[in-house]
Amino acid sequence: MSAALELFAEQGFETTTVPMIADKAVVGAGTIYRYFTNKEALGNALFQDCVRQFSEAIQRGYPAEGNAREQFRHIFCRMVEFAKEQERAFYLLETHRHARYLSEESHELFREMMEFLRAYFRAGREQGTIRSMPSDALIAIVYGAFAALYKAIRAGKIQETPDLIDSVEQACWDAVRVHPHG
């Protein structure tokens, strides 16, 4: 799985072959076929594993009793930690979430993960803390900015610093929160 993750993240799913994965894993291709019927089955298992890891990362220690601001900071900081600690898994999720090879089971697992974020935004709207916009639009604002930031960091265009991450988190919060009239 780790060999496949590395190759899918570096070369893409389409150009990676099972023999390439086997070589990287230092096993025979037959060993891979013993566990997975084909490359698509391996790709789905890997994608599902990455979704589970990401979901667990953002939900671990979630301050359910906290206010919307504390919860937002938690989610954002966990996304940062995941992207740093599991760079290839984050990249795979970002680049493969609409891939043709993904099964309905993979799509459903991704939808379940997204439902956690949708529920956060729904609750925040109900409390009057979060802008009155569709949850998916709010997710796009935050996750889209976050993914673009990490793409630029990965490409070496932006230097990651704690101050930068704090500033981006604050900017994303400002983008989704209700601003008092004044």
Query: How would you classify residue 156: left for phi > 0, otherwise alpha for psi between -120 and 50, otherwise beta?
Result: left
Contact 59, 116 (CB under 8 A): yes
How far is Cα 41 from Cα 26, in angstroms, rounded to an integer? 20
What 52-61 contacts at long range (C-beta under 8 Å, 24+ apart), as own/partner pairs, is 52/109, 53/82, 53/86, 53/89, 54/82, 54/86, 54/89, 54/90, 54/93, 54/113, 55/112, 55/113, 55/116, 57/81, 57/82, 57/86, 58/82, 58/116, 58/117, 59/116
pTM of the model: 0.89
How does pLDDT run along the chain (182 residues), one tens digit per residue? 999 999 998 888 999 999 999 999 999 999 999 999 999 999 999 999 999 999 999 999 999 999 999 999 999 999 999 999 999 999 899 888 899 999 999 999 999 999 999 999 999 999 999 999 999 999 999 999 999 998 899 889 999 999 999 999 999 999 999 998 74
Torsion sign (Cα): 144, 124, 79, 15: negative
How far is Cα 115 from Cα 133, in angstroms, rounded to an integer? 16
- Amino acid identity, position 128: G
Query: Of 64, 50, 53, 59, whose CA–CA distance to 77 is shortest?
Result: 59
Contact 16, 7 (CB under 8 A): yes
User: Which residue do the tokens 């949708």 mark?
Assistant: 118
Contact 96, 102 (CB under 8 A): yes
Q: What angle do CA 116, 125, 111 make, to 5 degrees?
A: 25
Beta bridge partners of residue 130, listed in sequence order: 177
How far is Cα 143 from Cα 28, in angstroms, rounded to an integer? 39
